[in-house]
Structure 1
Amino acid sequence: MGAYPNNADGSRFDASSPRSWNYEATIKKVEEITARIEAGELELAEVFDEFAAAVDYLRQCETFLMQRQQQVDLLIETLTDESDF
Structure 2
Amino acid sequence: MIKRNNSSNSDPVFHGNYEDKIAEIEKIIAQIESGNLELESVFDQFATAVEYLRQCETFLQQRQQQVDLLIETLSDD
Do both proteins adopt the same fold according to a TM-score greater than 0.5, normalized to the shorter chain? yes
Instruction: Measure how far apart 1:21 and its partner are.
Output: 1.1
Structure 2 Cα separation of the partners of residues 19 and 64 of structure 1: 7
2:56 is the alignment partner of 1:61:
yes
User: Which structure 1 segments of 5+ residues have no match?
Assistant: 1-13
Given that 1:15 and 1:60 are in contact with CA atoms closer than 8 Å, whether structure 2 keeps it comes out as no
Which one has a larger percent helix, Structure 1 or Structure 2? 2
Structure 2 Cα separation of the partners of residues 19 and 45 of structure 1: 26
Q: 1:47 aligns with which of 24, 42, 45?
A: 42
Q: Alignment identity in percent?
A: 62
TM-score by length of 2: 0.81
TM-score by length of 1: 0.74
Instruction: Measure how far apart 1:16 and its partner are.
Output: 3.4
Quote the RMSD (CA, aligned, Å). 2.1
Instruction: Measure how far apart 1:15 and its partner are.
Output: 6.9
Given that 2:28 and 2:45 are in contact with CA atoms closer than 8 Å, whether structure 1 keeps it comes out as yes
Structure 2 Cα separation of the partners of residues 65 and 42 of structure 1: 31
Instruction: Measure how far apart 1:77 and its partner are.
Output: 0.2
Query: Tell me, what secondary structure is at the counterpart of 2:48?
Result: helix
Q: Which residue of 1 aligns with 2:5?
A: none
Instruction: Measure how far apart 1:26 and its partner are.
Output: 0.3
Instruction: Measure how far apart 1:18 and its partner are.
Output: 7.7
User: Which structure 2 segments of 5+ residues have no match?
Assistant: 1-8
